[in-house]
């Protein structure tokens, strides 16, 4: 089975091909120009997707040594994400499948991330604890099978990636902030500033907005309206990163103590964070289980994970009609059997 995957939910346009379970191509075009605006501008994002999607498709097919009519299934992200951006990839995918008389699968972007660990050689084993940490979502889940997902907790305010991005802005750094905070943090002392970790009613929920406010207050107190001096950035970045990673790992540890799972998988853009990865490896070994964290190119938004999830759904005969629409929010697209505890 040859599956073509298409992803366009935010500021990455991506096209991938999976043939009989093997990834043949995964091309990602990132829209770096959003840096100029300090965040993603939805309308500009849609236009940029439109310009690049066709050349990416051609290149992905060339790399995969496949003709367009050899594609069996077209899978595309249907949400959550920016509505205009989603519509570009989804309409393109539906048009392609319709004109080629092939099957179409609508993929939940978050489910793409959840199963992205399967793109690695060492794969997660069901049931596994999955921490989804991206720019838009923070979720703690137990993935029981390809179609059964149990939600333990989520963020009550900002997502982990959003917290990194907002903190970076306060620190005078560009968007996206996560990679830059990581870069400065390498040189800093993570214990210098004790930023707070939120305590919540549901022990598996997260909250990062207090942390962002704490950074804002700290900045105002120390530097008034001036910029944070370059020399102070490493310790602040390291301490801030430490607080986010600690919060994520604490909740994962609590879940591992309570639920018997075979693996721990951390996915989404923030899973590319080296500190988080190291802490996750230590945590998994403490519980004698495997840690699966995708390579950075499968952590951030990519079509390989969409093609993979599309392939799983296709194998379960879960195809969609060409009427299927794009949904900006997660709630409307619980394709799988998502349950709460």
- Residues in the site for Zn ion, rule: CB under 5 A? 134, 301
Which residues are CB-neighbours of 42 under 8 A, at least 6 positions away?
A: 82, 83, 84, 85
Choose the contact partner of 182 out of Zn ion, ligand KG4, none; CB within 5 to 8 A by kind. ligand KG4
- Residues 178, 161 contacting (CB under 8 angstroms): yes
Per-residue interface string for the shown chain with ligand KG4, residues 93-132, x marking contact by CB under 6 A: ----------------------------------------
Q: Tell me which of ligand KG4, Zn ion, none is bound by residue 178, counting a contact when its beta carbon lies within the kind-specific cut-off of 5 to 8 angstroms.
A: ligand KG4
Q: Which one, 93 or 171, has the nearer CB to Zn ion?
A: 93
Among 135, 153, 294, 310, which residue sits at the site for ligand KG4 (rule: CB under 6 A)? Answer: 135
Which of ligand KG4, Zn ion, none interacts with 179 (beta carbon under 5 to 8 A by kind)? Answer: ligand KG4
Q: At what angle do helices 233-258 and 209-223 cross, to 10 degrees?
A: 160
Minimum CB distance to Zn ion smaller for 111 or for 301: 301
- Footprint of ligand KG4 on 299-328 (CB under 6 A): 300-301
Closest CA to 138 of 219, 196, 202: 202
- Judged by beta carbon distances under 5 to 8 A according to partner kind, the member of ligand KG4, Zn ion, none in contact with residue 273 is ligand KG4
Q: Which does 89 bind (CB under 5 to 8 A by kind): ligand KG4, Zn ion, none?
A: none
Instruction: Report the residue number, 154 or 273, with the smaller CB distance to ligand KG4.
Output: 273
Residue 267 beta carbon to Zn ion: minimum distance, rounded to whole angstroms: 9
Among 252, 270, 304, 305, binds ligand KG4 (CB under 6 A): 270
Tell me: does residue 89 bind ligand KG4 (CB under 6 A): no
Q: How far apart are CA 25 and CA 340, in angstroms?
A: 35
Least distance to Zn ion from the beta carbon of 2, Å?
A: 24
Site for ligand KG4 in 148-207 (CB under 6 A): 161, 164-165, 176-179, 182
Least distance between ligand KG4 and beta carbon 292 (Å): 16
Q: Cβ neighbours of residue 203 under 8 Å, at least 6 residues apart?
A: 153, 251, 254
For the bound state, the minimum distance from the C-beta of residue 268 to Zn ion, rounded and expressed in Å, comes to: 6
Asked if residue 320 lies in contact with residue 106, where contact means CB atoms within 8 angstroms, the answer is: yes
Among the residue ranges 42-50, 70-78, 205-213, 267-275, the one whose residues contact ligand KG4 (CB under 6 A) = 267-275
Q: Residues 196, 200, 204, 206: is their CA dihedral positive or negative?
A: negative
Selection from Zn ion, ligand KG4, none that 45 binds (CB < 5 to 8 A by kind) is none
Identified binder of ligand KG4 from the candidate list 136, 153, 234, 294, rule CB under 6 A: 136
- Contact (CB, 8 A) for 311 and 219: no
Least distance to ligand KG4, CB of residue 51, Å: 20
For residues 162 and 213, is the Cβ–Cβ distance under 8 A? no
Residues of this chain that interact with ligand KG4 (CB under 6 A) are 10, 134-136, 161, 164-165, 176-179, 182, 268-270, 272-273, 300-301
């Amino acid at each position: 089975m040859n599956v073509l995957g298409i992803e366009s939910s935010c500021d990455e346009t991506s096209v991938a091909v999976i043939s009989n379970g093997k990834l043949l191509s995964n091309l990602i075009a990132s829209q770096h120009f959003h840096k100029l605006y300090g965040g993603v501008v939805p309308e500009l994002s849609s236009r940029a997707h439109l310009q690049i999607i066709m050349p990416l498709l051609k290149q992905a097919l060339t790399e995969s040594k496949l003709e367009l009519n050899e594609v069996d299934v077209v899978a595309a992200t249907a949400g959550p994400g920016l509505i205009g951006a989603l519509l570009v990839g989804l309409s393109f995918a539906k048009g392609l499948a319709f004109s080629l008389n092939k099957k179409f699968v609508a993929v939940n972007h978050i489910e793409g991330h959840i199963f992205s660990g399967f793109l690695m050689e060492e794969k997660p084993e069901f049931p596994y604890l999955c921490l989804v940490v991206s720019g838009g979502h923070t979720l703690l889940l137990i993935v029981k099978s390809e179609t059964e997902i149990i939600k333990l907790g989520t963020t009550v305010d900002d997502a982990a990636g959003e917290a990194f991005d907002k903190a970076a802005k306060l620190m005078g750094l560009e968007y996206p902030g996560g990679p830059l905070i990581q870069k400065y943090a390498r040189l800093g002392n993570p214990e210098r500033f004790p930023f707070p970790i939120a305590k919540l009613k549901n022990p598996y929920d997260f909250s990062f907005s207090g942390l962002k406010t704490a950074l804002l207050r700290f900045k105002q107190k120390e530097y008034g309206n001036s910029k944070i001096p370059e020399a102070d950035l490493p310790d602040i970045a390291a301490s801030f990163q430490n607080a986010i990673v600690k919060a994520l790992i604490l909740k994962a540890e609590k879940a591992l103590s309570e639920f018997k799972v075979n693996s721990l998988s951390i996915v989404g853009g923030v899973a590319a964070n080296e500190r988080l990865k190291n802490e996750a490896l230590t945590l998994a070994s403490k519980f004698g289980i495997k840690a699966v964290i995708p390579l950075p190119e499968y952590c951030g938004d990519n079509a390989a994970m969409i093609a993979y999830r599309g392939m799983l759904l296709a194998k379960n005969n879960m195809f969609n009609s060409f009427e299927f629409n794009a949904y900006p929010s997660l709630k409307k697209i619980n394709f799988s059997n998502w349950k709460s505890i």
